[in-house]
Amino acid sequence: MNHAIELKGVTKRFGDFGAVNGVDLAVPQAQRCALLGPNGAGKTTLLNLISGRLSLSDGEIRLKGHDVSRASARRRAQLGVGRSFQKTNIFPQLTLLENVRLGVQNREGRRNWNPWRAADGDAALNETAARWLRQVNIRRSHDARASALSYGEQRQLELAITLATEPQIVLLDEPTAGMSHSETAVILELMAKLLEGLTVVIVEHDLSVVDRIAHRVVVMERGGVICDGTPAEVKADTRVQSAYLKGAHRA
């Protein structure tokens, strides 16, 4: 089986504190894997290690067969890693089109491109950005400022920015956190459509989201993996039931 992500003995220490402790995990291509667990379990730290935002203390990380254990975040992005965050990571002062153009620019490596200049000469770039805005169904003028968006729309915009980099591996950190039920329904529909065929690792606390979006669930506790299986298998595990599920549902 071809694995998009392979972790062997992945460890991250902050001083004497072990945030992630010897995690082994292999995620096949096109699988959507959810990370579940309480605050402080190491889920976001693990995403940061995979994306290169944090350096390893020990262990090995391979992406699409490449050893990236000591590689930069930029190198991993070049291998097709896209990342979203718990808090929206957009530029409020820019227009919707300019925000997504930054994602396209990142994909194309156009380091000297200036998002504030006139768009003349960038027709192809603009059309690609506009296409992603249409894909995420934001029903506003592309020239509107991102600051005018609702929270749910900001999450839709962030998804467009992430996917505009054309990643093959997508890391999502609580993409539905803070959303209403209607906003969650919108983002889940978009994710089901737009993440098809991509390898996805998603940190999520809402079990209804996990049921709808994940093929597999990995439960973490104190930096280690305690359960790994389908959503149904994980929900039936007595350790998970006693430790997490009662508090995992959002109000």
* Cα–Cα dist 229/82, whole Å: 24
pLDDT at 123: 83
pLDDT at 105: 81
The more confidently predicted of residues 131 and 246 is 131
Residue type for position 245: L
Q: Is the pLDDT of residue 195 over 90?
A: yes
Contact 231, 217 (CB under 8 A): yes
CA trace torsion 142, 146, 150, 152 (10° rounding):
80
**CATH number for the domain formed by residue range(s) 1-80+169-251:** 3.40.50.300
Q: Token digits for 204?
A: 């999520």
The more confidently predicted of residues 107 and 26 is 26
Q: Is the pLDDT of residue 189 over 70?
A: yes
* Cα–Cα dist 105/125, whole Å: 8
Q: Token digits for 56?
A: 């390893």
Q: Is the pLDDT of residue 42 over 60?
A: yes
The more confidently predicted of residues 73 and 118 is 73
Largest interatomic CA distance in the chain: 60
Eight-class DSSP state of 145: B
Where do the domains of the chain lie? 1-80+169-251, 91-166
Mean pLDDT across 86-96: 85
Give CA angle at 67 (66, 68), nearest 5°. Answer: 105
